[in-house]
Amino acid sequence: DTGVSQDPRHKITKRGQNVTFRCDPISEHNRLYWYRQTLGQGPEFLTYFQNEAQLEKSRLLSDRFSAERPKGSFSTLEIQRTEQGDSAMYLCASSLGGLTNEKLFFGSGTQLSVL
């Protein structure tokens, strides 16, 4: 499978715990995006990387959230001290950035439930 891969598919955690999600992009893609989607809403941008550099962060990304892409390949998104409001689908997407016709390809997401 050469698409975007996300792990785990589902995560149930208790409020106050830390969680970490992983995303493996399409191999030749240099850009990697994180989005969050709640029920009945479209995906909302969180942050993106070009290679290993984190180029932009949304103000939705509170200081409890941190994302890394250490070698410009896979990425992790960590949420510390989870809150019930963090319950959502976390989507990763990758692309060949820098092109005028940049197209994002999404993974199947990680569904987070905070109890």
Which of 8, 12, 44, 115 binds other proteins (CB under 8 A)? It is: 44
Contact 5, 106 (CB under 8 A): no
Site string for other proteins, 3-42 (x = CB under 8 A): -x-x--------------------------x------xxx
Residues of span 75-94 touching other proteins by CB under 8 A: 91, 93
Which of 2, 27, 84, 101 binds other proteins (CB under 8 A)? It is: 101
* DSSP type of residue 3: S
Closer to other proteins by CB, 4 or 67: give it: 4
104 binds other proteins (CB under 8 A): yes
Q: Find the part of the chain contacting other proteins (CB under 8 A) among 11-19, 43-51, 60-68, 75-83.
A: 43-51
SS3 call for 85: helix
Q: Count Cα atoms within 13 angstroms, Cβ side, for 20.
A: 8
| Cα-based distances in Å from 2 to 29, 38, 107 | 11, 27, 11
> Looking at the chain, which runs of residues are DSSP E strands?
5-7, 10-13, 19-24, 31-37, 44-50, 53-57, 65-68, 75-79, 88-95, 105-106, 110-114
Question: Encoding tokens for residue 56?
Answer: 């932009």
Which of 11, 21, 32, 48 binds other proteins (CB under 8 A)? It is: 48
Which residues are at the interface with other proteins (CB under 8 A)?
Answer: 4, 6, 33, 40-45, 48, 56, 58, 91, 93, 100-109, 111
